[in-house]
A and B are shown apart, each in its own frame.
Chain A
C-alpha cells in the first residue's frame, strides 16, 4: 500500500518533472540573449529573471498580437503559444531578481535622482525596487537597456501601450530620462 502510494507520487512527480523539464528547455533558449536564469551579461539586453509574472506574460502577448512595438522580441514570441508564454512568464518570475552593479558619474546620478524623485518614484519607488503592480523592478536593470526603452517611449515611431508610463517618459527631457535610467541602473550593489 505504502509502496503503491509512493509509486503514484513518484509517477505524478515524474510527470511534473517532465513538464517542468520541457519549460526549462524552452526557457534555456532565452539564455543566449538574456543570460542564465535571466541575468543578462550585456548592457543593452535586459535581465528578465525575477520580473513579475503578469508583467512578463502581458508584454509578451502585446508583442505577439502587435499591440506593442519591439526590435527583436515581437518576432520571437510569435512562434510561441499563449500557454508557452504563460509558462515562461511563471518560470522567469520564479527566478531571483539579480540587480547588476553598474557605475555612473556622480553628476549624472545627482541629476537622475532629482528626476526620479520628482517624476518616477511614485510608480517605481525611489530606487526602482518598489514598483507598482504593473511595473517591473528597475533597480540594477541595465541602464543602457533602460535608456533604449525610454527612447522608445519618447519616439513617435513605437507603439508603447502603457499610457501613464508613456506620458511620464514624454514629459521628461531626453537627458533627464537618460540620467534617471543611470540612477536606477546604479542601484545594483
Chain B
C-alpha cells in the first residue's frame, strides 16, 4: 500500500458511491500528502483547486491569483448591451477558502521547474510537488500597429477579459450616435471563445435596435475565413437585425480584406490589408498566446505560443509535474481541425482530468479514464440562444473527437431535401438555459 494508510483506504473504497474517491482525511493532521500549487484562479485554476480538496482533503492546495474578484467572460457580452449586470458574473474566492484552499492574492513572478518552486512578488516562494498552471491568455498588442495595452484600457477596449474594459465598451456603445459604426476586429485563431466575437456583434445590434440606433452598423473585420456556429449566427442575424447588404451586421472575411493591421486612434479608423474603415467605436481583439508566466516557465512549446500537454493527464510535455489547463494549453484532435476550444467549460473539464489523474497518482491508484467535455451557449437576442457541445475521449494516448456527442444546435429541422425552420421556442429555451448553465458553471468552479 502506498503513501497513505490502509484504514483510510478501506474506509474510502467502501464509502457510499456518492462520496469522492478519497473522502477521508488522514487520521493524524500530519504533513500533507502532497503540496499542489495552482497558478491562476480563473475557470481552470479554480476548478482544479476546488476538486483537489473535494477528492482528497489530505492534499495541501495553494491557489495564487492576482485578482480578488473574478469576472466571468462568458455572458459578458450581455453586459455590453446592458442586458445583464456585471455583478451576476462575479465571484470572490471565499468559497474555495472555505474548502480549505489556501488562497494567496499575489502576482506570480517566476517558476523554477527544476527546484519545483513558484515565486511571487510579495508573498514569497511556494515549493510544490505538483503545479497546475492556469494563467489564461496574454494579448499580443504588437500585432496591430498603433495598438497598446494602455490604449486598450482607455480608448480601444478589447473587453476580451471581462472587467473594467467591458464597462468601458458598454459606455462607448451607449454614447455612439444613431447611424454610427461599431467595428469588431477579430484576430487570427486560436482565440478564446470561438463564437464570442459573433455573439458580441448580435448583442451590440440588439442594443442598437432597442435604443434608438436603428441606423447603426456593426462591422466585423475578421482575420479568419470562417467562424464557429456560423450558420446559426447568420440565421439569427438575418432574422433579428439584418445581415449583409443593407443589414445592420456586416462580416468581412480574411480573404476579403478583414485582417486589421493598423489603428489610428486620433482619426478613429483602422487599416486592413485592403482599405481604411472609420468607426465610432473600435473594438480590436488582439491575437492571443499562452499567459506570460507559462511562456516564461518554458511551457509554451507549441508554435512558441501554447503549452502542449499529455492527453491522459494534461501534464506538460515540457516539464514533469506541471499540468497546464485552460486557455494556455493546446490539445484535442488537431489533425482533423478539432482542437480543444478555448472555453470556460473546457478549462473546467480539463482541470477535472488533472485532478482525477493527480489524486489517483498520489494515492497509488490506477489512472482513471479521462474524458473531456465542452459546452458553450451564445445569446444573440432577448429570446434567441444556441449552443455547441463537444466530447473528447482518449484512445492510444491520443485525443479523439467524438462526433456523436458533439455538435451545434440544429440549424434546420426536416430533411436535407426539405428543410424546415427550427421552431422559435427552441431558440427561446436555449437562451434561458444559457443563464442556468453559467450559474452552475460558476458554482462548479467557485462555490
The reply on B345 being an interface residue by CB < 8 A is yes
CA distance A31 to B442 in the complex (A): 11
B interface residues, tally (CB under 8 Å): 55
A interface residues, tally (CB under 8 Å): 48
Decide: A71 and B426 in contact? CB cutoff 8 A.
Answer: yes
Decide: A33 and B375 in contact? CB cutoff 8 A.
Answer: yes
Residue numbers in B under 8 Å from A118 (CB-CB): none
The reply on B175 being an interface residue by CB < 8 A is no
Decide: A18 and B18 in contact? CB cutoff 8 A.
Answer: no
Residue numbers in B under 8 Å from A44 (CB-CB): 432-433, 435-436
Decide: B433 and A21 in contact? CB cutoff 8 A.
Answer: no
| B 344-375 binary contact with A (CB < 8 Å = 1; else 0) | 01001100110010001000011011110101
Residue numbers in A under 8 Å from B17 (CB-CB): 20, 90-91, 94
* With A17-B13, A44-B433 as contacts: A75 and B366 at CB distance below 8 Å: no
- Which of B244-252, B318-326, B403-411 has 4 or more CB atoms under 8 Å from chain A? B403-411
Residue numbers in A under 8 Å from B171 (CB-CB): none
Residues 14-52 (chain B) with a chain A CB within 8 angstroms? 14, 16-18, 20-21, 51
| A 66-110 binary contact with B (CB < 8 Å = 1; else 0) | 000001100111111000000000110011100000000000000
Q: B445's closest neighbor in chain A, by CB?
A: A32
The reply on A145 being an interface residue by CB < 8 A is yes
From A31, A42, A72, give the contact of B439 (CB < 8 A). Answer: A42
* With A21-B360, A28-B352 as contacts: A71 and B409 at CB distance below 8 Å: yes
* With A42-B438, A94-B18, A151-B425 as contacts: A25 and B433 at CB distance below 8 Å: no
The reply on B423 being an interface residue by CB < 8 A is yes
CA distance A28 to B365 in the complex (A): 18
| B 97-118 binary contact with A (CB < 8 Å = 1; else 0) | 0000000000000000000000
| A 121-160 binary contact with B (CB < 8 Å = 1; else 0) | 0000000000000000000001011001001100101000
From A21, A36, A90, give the contact of B365 (CB < 8 A). Answer: A21
Residue numbers in A under 8 Å from B18 (CB-CB): 37, 91, 94-96
Q: A148's closest neighbor in chain B, by CB?
A: B429
The reply on A35 being an interface residue by CB < 8 A is yes
Decide: B352 and A25 in contact? CB cutoff 8 A.
Answer: yes
CA distance A28 to B444 in the complex (A): 10
Q: Would you give the shortest CB distance from B425 to chain A, in whole angstroms?
A: 6
Decide: B404 and A45 in contact? CB cutoff 8 A.
Answer: no
Q: A38's closest neighbor in chain B, by CB?
A: B18
From A14, A42, A79, A157, give the contact of B13 (CB < 8 A). Answer: A14
Decide: B443 and A76 in contact? CB cutoff 8 A.
Answer: no
The reply on A171 being an interface residue by CB < 8 A is no
Decide: A33 and B437 in contact? CB cutoff 8 A.
Answer: yes
CA distance A112 to B442 in the complex (A): 32
From A25, A43, A78, give the contact of B405 (CB < 8 A). Answer: A78
Residue numbers in B under 8 Å from A90 (CB-CB): 17
Decide: A22 and B440 in contact? CB cutoff 8 A.
Answer: no
CA distance A155 to B422 in the complex (A): 13
From B348, B356, B406, give the contact of A75 (CB < 8 A). Answer: B406
From B369, B404, B430, give the contact of A71 (CB < 8 A). Answer: B430
Q: Would you give the shortest CB distance from A2 to chain B, in whole angstroms?
A: 14
Decide: B404 and A79 in contact? CB cutoff 8 A.
Answer: yes
From B10, B13, B373, give the contact of A29 (CB < 8 A). Answer: B373
The reply on B447 being an interface residue by CB < 8 A is yes
The reply on A187 being an interface residue by CB < 8 A is no
The reply on A59 being an interface residue by CB < 8 A is no
The reply on B77 being an interface residue by CB < 8 A is no
Decide: B356 and A35 in contact? CB cutoff 8 A.
Answer: no
From B375, B409, B426, B444, give the contact of A157 (CB < 8 A). Answer: B426
Decide: B436 and A42 in contact? CB cutoff 8 A.
Answer: yes
A-B contact pairs, 23 of them (CB 8 A): A10-B9, A13-B10, A18-B365, A25-B356, A29-B352, A31-B440, A35-B443, A35-B444, A40-B440, A41-B440, A72-B375, A72-B433, A76-B373, A76-B375, A76-B391, A77-B405, A79-B402, A79-B405, A90-B17, A94-B16, A94-B17, A142-B436, A144-B432
Which residues of A approach B to under 8 Å, CB–CB? 10, 13-14, 16-18, 20-22, 24-26, 28-29, 31-37, 40-45, 71-72, 75-80, 90-91, 94-96, 142, 144-145, 148, 151-152, 155, 157
Which residues of B approach A to under 8 Å, CB–CB? 1, 9-10, 12-14, 16-18, 20-21, 51, 54, 345, 348-349, 352-353, 356, 360, 365-366, 368-371, 373, 375, 387, 389, 391, 402, 404-407, 409, 423, 425-426, 429-430, 432-433, 435-444, 447
7 nearest CB pairs, A to B: A79-B405, A42-B436, A42-B439, A44-B436, A45-B436, A41-B443, A79-B391
